[in-house]
Amino acid sequence: MRLAAPAAIVAVVAAVAALAPAVSRYDPDAIDPAIRAAAPSRAHLLGTDEYGRDITSRLAYGARISLAVSLASVAIALSVGSMVGMTAGYFGGPLELILMRIVDGLLSFPPILLALFVITFLGPSLVNVILVIGLLYVPRFARIAHGATLSVRETEYVQASTALGATHGRTLRRAILPNIAAPLFVQTSLGLGQAILLEAGLSFLGLGAPPPASSWGRMIEQSSRFMSLSPWPVIWPSIVVSATVLAFNLVGDAARDALDPRLRGRA
């Protein structure tokens, strides 16, 4: 039951993003000064912004940007981080020391500051945002994969795989990865929400997808300067960002409770 509500929110956001052209009654970039800062109405369900653009349409297309950045960046972090953590935990020795010290070094930087530095240097673009967020979350997946690999490295099925002559790559793929997938799945769920929040923050600072992309963070930043005209253009994207991030976090918490035997069955 705990999973139903947040999963429903995630499903709705994903559906709206996938069906944005069908959901949107208006062009998200169409400007109409005659209806600027209009309140919610039948014609415009969530109102219009300071340029007369339909907020519902902009939120729908903004969902595409947020989910695309979130999914792509977390996919990068999951694949690279898991490989680094598993390699360090499996082989140990100097390789483990070098890889995990690099991971610790990346973790020592506050994510938003490192993102600001890299994107300011590379320039704002959707691809750069994806790459930066992916890089920022690599250490989190690496630490989880490393710890989980250490816990299963000496188990019988890993030793049996090695005794049967399996290569290191096959042992990592077939004996270790399936048995450390649960914590990685939980971190993936949490990372998706955190990536959306970070993307919104970068867009708010003008370092996300460049205009006229209707990013949720950029919508909040642009409309916050015109609060005296109408608060709705700020309220709606703020609610959407908060609800989506909270939903992903609750899904991750529920998955953790379901997959961890020590927590299973607790209220």
Segment 34-83, tens digit of pLDDT: 898 888 988 898 999 988 999 999 999 999 999 999 999 999 999 999 99
Q: Is 62 part of any domain?
A: yes
- Judged against a pLDDT cut of 80, whether residue 216 lies above it is answered with yes
Domain count, the chain: 1
Angle 6-17-24 (CA atoms, 0-180°, nearest 5)? 120
Assign residue 32 a region: left if phi > 0, alpha if psi is -120 to 50, beta otherwise?
beta
**Cβ proximity of 84 and 96 under 8 Å:** no
pTM: 0.87
State the pLDDT at residue 63. Answer: 93
CA atoms within 13 A on the CB side of 261: 0
The answer to whether the beta carbons of residues 77 and 137 sit under 8 Å apart is yes
Q: Residues 223-247: pLDDT tens digits?
A: 888 888 889 999 999 999 999 999 9
Greatest mean pLDDT among 4-13, 112-121, 148-157 lies in: 4-13
Q: Which domain holds residue 91?
A: 4-25+47-259
Residue 239 lies in a domain: yes
Please report whether residue 181 resides in a domain. Answer: yes
Provide the pLDDT for residue 267.
44
